[in-house]
Structure 1
Amino acid sequence: MRLGTLVLWAAAGASVVYWGLRLSSRPSGVAVPVAAAAPAAPDAGALARLLGASPATAVVKAPVAAPSSRFALQGVLSGRTSGGGAALIAMDGKPARPYRIGAQVDAGLVLQSLGPRQAALGATVDGPTTVRLEMPPKG
């Protein structure tokens, strides 16, 4: 009986020593690499001068499409008595989506009003119209 008790206490003591050393040691994990900062975009004018371009050379920017050419009015659902309604507007060649009056169609443009075959877009519902969309003729 004494030998069994001695073995049990020796195992308990060894366990305490093992876990004490394990928990008190420093973690030896692999250090996490630091992410490098994204490089800044090069200045096109400075790069052109470096490669020998004359100072009079100008960088030509891509033309921006007119706002009305980005949108295509494909359908109008106007409420005659309620003054509400919705328009089916396709943007940048994507499938048409329905927009209610007052809904934001694009950045800085909301649907202001609807006519029989037209829709008006502007910065605010009550503001001036900046883009007027017409449905294509039937045919």
Structure 2
Amino acid sequence: MPARIAAFLVWAAVAACAAFWGLRVLVTPRPVPSQTEPVASAEGRRADVLRLFAVAATPSAAASASAPGLASRFKLIGVMAPKEGERGRDQGIALIAVDEKPPRAYRVGAPIDNALVLQSVAVRSATIGPAQGEPAVQLDLPPLPPPATGSLPAASGLLPAGPVAVPPPAAPDPGPGPSGPPRDLVNRR
């Protein structure tokens, strides 16, 4: 009896190992979607780790982080603009992320930063600048991905194989006439 229990345990362990490695080898992970973007560069991750352990950042990294370009501070996520022929450019809402913070909705004329306001919104863009001045930054939405195209596979198994015989159309019934009763009522012998 102990030999049977030992054999059962050995074979159970072998089956568990085979199932584990079979699932590891045979299952393929899902690919990363095409619209994903990396969260941070390697330098950004290194700076975060250094800050975690209270190590002072180098002056060049601090200077570049404190004075980014004006256009790189803003990211246009979406717009809601009137059609070209409707009203003026003073209508509309833009969804803008400032300094990698979560995006917020801004109406045309609303202040975005200290001296900057949302000046106008178009179908796929928005302009930011001083309240009474020329646009400082024009933000554009990224182009849409091309539509998925292809063809459907042929439907198989729905229709019988080979040509299908179609019965000829039936002749119209002449109905009762002077020649006698209808044909379907006549007894055939």
Shorter-chain TM-score tier: 0.5 to 0.7
**Which residues of 2 match residues 108-127 of structure 1 at below 5 A?**
108-124=115-131, 126-127=132-133
1:124-135 mapped onto 2 (5 Å cutoff): 124=131, 126-135=132-141
- 2:97 — aligned with what? 90
Pair member with larger Rg: 2
SS of the equivalent of 2:112 reads strand
In structure 2, distance between residues paired with 1:69 and 1:75: 17
Unpaired segments of 5 or more residues in structure 1? 1-58
Counterpart contact for 2:119–2:129, Cα < 8 Å: yes
Unaligned runs of at least 5 residues, structure 2: 1-58, 146-189
TM-score normalised by L of structure 2: 0.40
**Partner SS state of residue 72, structure 2:** helix
Which SS does the other structure have where 1:128 is aligned? coil
Tell me which amino acid in the other structure corresponds to 2:123: P
Runs ≥4 in structure 1, deviation > 3 angstroms?
none
Task: Give the Cα–Cα distance (whole angstroms) in 2 for the partners of residues 129 and 121 of structure 1.
Answer: 6
Matched with 2:82 is: 79
Cα RMSD over matched residues? 1.6
Aligned to 1:23: none
Indicate if the aligned counterparts of 2:118 and 2:128 stay in contact, CA closer than 8 A. yes
TM-score of the pair, normalised by structure 1? 0.53
How far apart are the structure 1 equivalents of 2:113 and 2:87? Answer: 25
Decide which structure has greater strand share. Answer: 1
Q: In structure 2, what is the equivalent of residue 62 of structure 1?
A: 63
How far does residue 93 in structure 1 lie from its aligned partner after superposition? 1.2
3-state SS in 2 of match to 1:113 = strand
